[in-house]
């Protein structure tokens, strides 16, 4: 029964991660498949780029939420005691399942996004304190460089450093997971890295438009 319960909860996490938020929002409200525009990725960044903030913000929030919710599915099981190594390992498994779902969504032909927001939601559920610090690093980097992709990679690389050096985590699975995150971000941002090196990467527009005085 434990094996069946493991399989069911992991499949559920994958299906939750597979919800193609940006694709469905683009099709329903804009008559566009987000994957046919911009970077071609079905993620929040491309949604902001192609459809704007009104579509990008809810897509970003839901993509983060589904990663967080996938990890929280563990509360519906009675497999392990909270805080134990096996409990953390299952949390990691659920987070990875949601990430795979976002990258290869079953609902729209297995062509999804990079999974940064969904991965971030999973990390928040597993390591909230470390996540808050990583968020701060991302924001500071974004304010300095104006590059979302570069800031994402910097925050991603800070995660294993925080886990290993600062918090001295002893769970090997969590340590490996943190290192995989950094490597995965490099892999999924190859085109961004090429554009950054060629100085062709678009910078984020962080300016707040002032309302005209009436």
**Interatomic CA distance for residues 192 and 197, integer angstroms:** 9
Per-10-residue mean pLDDT, the chain, length 214: 87 97 95 91 88 92 96 91 90 94 95 89 93 92 89 91 92 91 84 89 67 50
CB 36 within 8 A of CB 30: no
Cα dist. 203→113, 146, 193 in Å?
20, 5, 13
Return the pLDDT at 207.
63
Helix, strand or coil, per DSSP, at residue 183: helix
Return the pLDDT at 58.
95
Return the pLDDT at 2.
85
Return the pLDDT at 203.
80
Residue 19 is given by DSSP the state -
Cα dist. 156→70, 119, 153 in Å?
20, 10, 5
- Ranges of each domain in the chain: 1-114, 127-203
Hey, what's the torsion of the CAs at 201, 203, 204, 209, to 10 degrees?
Answer: -140
Return the pLDDT at 214.
47
Q: Is 20 exposed, middle or buried (0-12, 13-18, 19+ CB in 10 A)?
A: buried
**Interatomic CA distance for residues 160 and 166, integer angstroms:** 9
Return the pLDDT at 157.
92
Does the pTM exceed 0.85? no
């Amino acid at each position: 029964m434990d094996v069946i319960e493991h399989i069911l909860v992991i499949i559920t996490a994958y299906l939750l991660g597979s919800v193609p938020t940006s694709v469905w929002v683009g099709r329903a409200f804009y008559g566009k498949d987000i994957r046919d525009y911009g970077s071609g990725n079905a993620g929040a960044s491309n949604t902001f780029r192609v459809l704007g903030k009104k579509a990008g913000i809810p897509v970003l929030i839901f993509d983060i939420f589904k990663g967080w919710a996938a990890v929280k599915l563990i509360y519906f099981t009675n497999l392990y005691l909270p805080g134990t190594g096996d409990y953390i390992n299952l949390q990691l498994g659920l987070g990875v399942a949601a990430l795979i779902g976002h990258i290869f969504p079953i609902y729209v032909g297995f062509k999804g996004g990079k999974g940064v927001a969904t991965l971030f939601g999973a990390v928040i559920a597993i390591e909230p304190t470390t996540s808050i610090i990583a968020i701060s690093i991302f924001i500071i980097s974004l304010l300095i460089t104006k590059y979302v992709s570069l800031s994402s990679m910097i925050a991603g690389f800070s995660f294993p450093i925080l886990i290993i050096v600062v918090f001295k985590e002893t769970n090997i699975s969590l340590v490996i997971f943190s290192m995989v995150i950094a490597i995965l971000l490099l892999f999924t941002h190859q085109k961004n890295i090429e554009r950054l090196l060629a100085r062709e990467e678009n910078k984020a527009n962080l300016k707040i438009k002032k309302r005209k005085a009436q």
